[in-house]
Chains A and B, each alone.
Chain A
Amino acid sequence: MRRHVAFVFFMSTWSELKNNPRLREIYETRLRIISLIREWFISAEFLEADTPIALRLPGQEPYLNPVAVDFNDSTGRSERFYLQTSPEFSLKKLLAAGFNNIFQLAKCFRNTESFGGTHNTEFTMLEWYRAPGSLKDVMDDTENLFKFVGKELGAVKFPSPARGEGEGEVGAWRWEQSWDRKSMRQIWQEYLGVELNDYLTVETIKILANKLDCGLEGEAEYEDYFFKIFLNKIETNLGKDKPVFIYDYPAQMCSLSRPSADNRYAERFELYINGLEMANAFGELTDAEAQAKNLEKDRALREKLGRSTWPVDPDFIGALRSGIPGNCAGGSSLGVDRMVMLFTGAKDINEVIFQSVSDQLSENY
């Protein structure tokens, strides 16, 4: 479905898009993927939600930087809002309001990330929730959605590596085969020969990190050591032969998910295809008090890291307190731009976005 052209082209102007057949093809595929996503969710009886992009009280993720915007009314009163980093809180409020199966294609913004590669400050995120729903339901949704989109696009396999160098087709696996599902513990065993159960505290994982040549100077959080090891020793190998869901993350890294059966871990999964993270999902934490505690902890960490802070959204905690249908929800977020990269063989996210941040800054604009 893709002609082999060894260059990267960006959709920086309307005339580029009009005159360059490869760009046109990528953009048409993008639009088609977006409409196929809608088609799949509607046929699976989900409602498409619509929520605000600008929030006064956004999420508390310690490492995300929401873009601040100031709204002024006609008298000159000024209020600080933030562009959403994901529609998560809004959608969970809708669950509490009685909407059971919902999805949204949301424009999201994350500041101080790179203008290109696999990130763009503004990006498109698909987020969906099932209430009641389990992590397994959401994994099934993810796999079925990808397979539906692939089949409708007539793709036999993903046309090129999502990251790394070289041309060539990835994935000898076929669409009808089921994808791998492995726990984080299994993955550490497989790639490092290490029992993750023994490394669930910052003291123990620090020792392991040093042993694996992944040490960090100064004070660092559990998550820092965990990812330093994971990114250096494991991630790039994931999903090479076949997409893989990695599930059950150490509990301290998942402030929005509920504990797994083994409560040292939490219900969270990420989908990796050819070394690139495509989706992140939680078995949602619906215990309002536990959630409030986790968010306050994240807020304190933001403060410690010197990031801007705001109060925990009381309406979000109130929504959980009132109860989520079935008291059990599963939800996932998936990077639509990365999905388009995968199906078009694009190597840079700028190739699949019309007038991305970097395009608008380029000299061709």
Chain B
Amino acid sequence: MAQTSDIRKGVVIKGPNDLFVVVEFQHVNPGKGAAFTRARMKGLGSGKVIENTYKSSETIDIVSVQFQTMQYLYKVGERFAFMNMSNYEQIEMDGDLVGADAKYLKEGIDCVIGLYEDRPVSIELPKKIKYKVVEAPPAVRGDSSGGNVTKEIKVDNGLIVYAPIFIKEGEEILVNTETGLYCERA
């Protein structure tokens, strides 16, 4: 049995009638009261998203998940397709399990996919991803008066990032996928 402090995005919890993947979690301390953890979870069988709040002393049943590096292929409706490059097997993952990470996905990047009985339940992106800049408004004279200013740019998968003013269209940059921030020129 596991503790509520083991609750993370992507862990699979065994419930009474279904298995649930944690999509989002948050700590709650009601009015100076005991610590609770609130988890938003998607039922693997039912597909329904539920919320459950656990007291910190409760034990939960976390089932083990296999991790496999897979390459992102493309989006199919609300799902995302990945390929296991060692056996060329293809899987599709629900958009709500990918969550906010979806905006970083770009064809050809390697992600670590969590699999429970061959079903994808979690995704871990590379820490930094390389993108090509497709839109970058030219720097305007006087822009740099305040020092090292940034501007909004668009990269090849549609992601918008704040980058230094000297970045131009066609350049390649690295973006930190934990913070959404520009790192450096690639």
- A residues near B (Cβ < 8 Å) are 5-10, 12, 15-16, 18-21, 61-64, 110, 112-114, 117-119, 163, 165, 216-218, 220-221, 223-224, 227-228, 230-232, 235-236, 253, 268, 270, 277, 280, 362, 364
Mark interface residues in B17-39 (1 if CB within 8 Å of A CB, else 0).
Answer: 00000001011111111111010
The answer on a CB contact under 8 Å between A113 and B29 is: yes
The answer on a CB contact under 8 Å between B180 and A231 is: no
The answer on a CB contact under 8 Å between B179 and A364 is: yes
If the complex has contacts A9-B181, A231-B38, are A277 and B103 also in contact, measured as CB distance less than 8 A? no
- B residues near A (Cβ < 8 Å) are 24, 26-36, 38, 40, 51-53, 55, 57-59, 103, 146-150, 160, 162, 164, 176, 179-181
Query: Can you sample 9 A-B contacts with CB below 8 Å?
Result: A9-B179, A9-B181, A12-B179, A18-B147, A114-B26, A114-B27, A117-B26, A232-B51, A280-B31
The answer on a CB contact under 8 Å between A113 and B34 is: no
Bound-state CA distance A21–B152 (Å) is 10
| List of B residues within 8 angstroms of A217 by Cβ | 58-59
Task: With both chains docked as a complex, state the minimum distance between the C-beta of A73 and any C-beta of chain B, in angstroms.
Answer: 33
| List of B residues within 8 angstroms of A18 by Cβ | 146-149
Bound-state CA distance A201–B101 (Å) is 46
8 smallest A-B Cβ distances: which pairs? A7-B180, A114-B27, A231-B53, A19-B150, A61-B32, A117-B26, A63-B34, A280-B31
Bound-state CA distance A253–B36 (Å) is 16
The answer on a CB contact under 8 Å between A119 and B181 is: no
Bound-state CA distance A230–B24 (Å) is 20
The answer on a CB contact under 8 Å between A223 and B179 is: no
The answer on a CB contact under 8 Å between B180 and A227 is: no
The answer on a CB contact under 8 Å between B27 and A228 is: no
The answer on a CB contact under 8 Å between B55 and A364 is: no
| List of A residues within 8 angstroms of B160 by Cβ | 5-7
The answer on a CB contact under 8 Å between A163 and B34 is: no
The answer on a CB contact under 8 Å between B52 and A119 is: no
The answer on a CB contact under 8 Å between B180 and A117 is: no
Considering the complex, give the chain A residue whose CB is closest to the CB of B146. A18
The answer on a CB contact under 8 Å between B58 and A216 is: yes
Beyond A19-B148, A165-B40, A216-B55, list 17 extra A-B contacts (CB 8 Å).
A6-B160, A7-B103, A8-B179, A9-B180, A15-B148, A18-B146, A18-B147, A63-B34, A113-B35, A114-B27, A119-B29, A227-B34, A227-B36, A231-B36, A231-B38, A232-B52, A364-B179
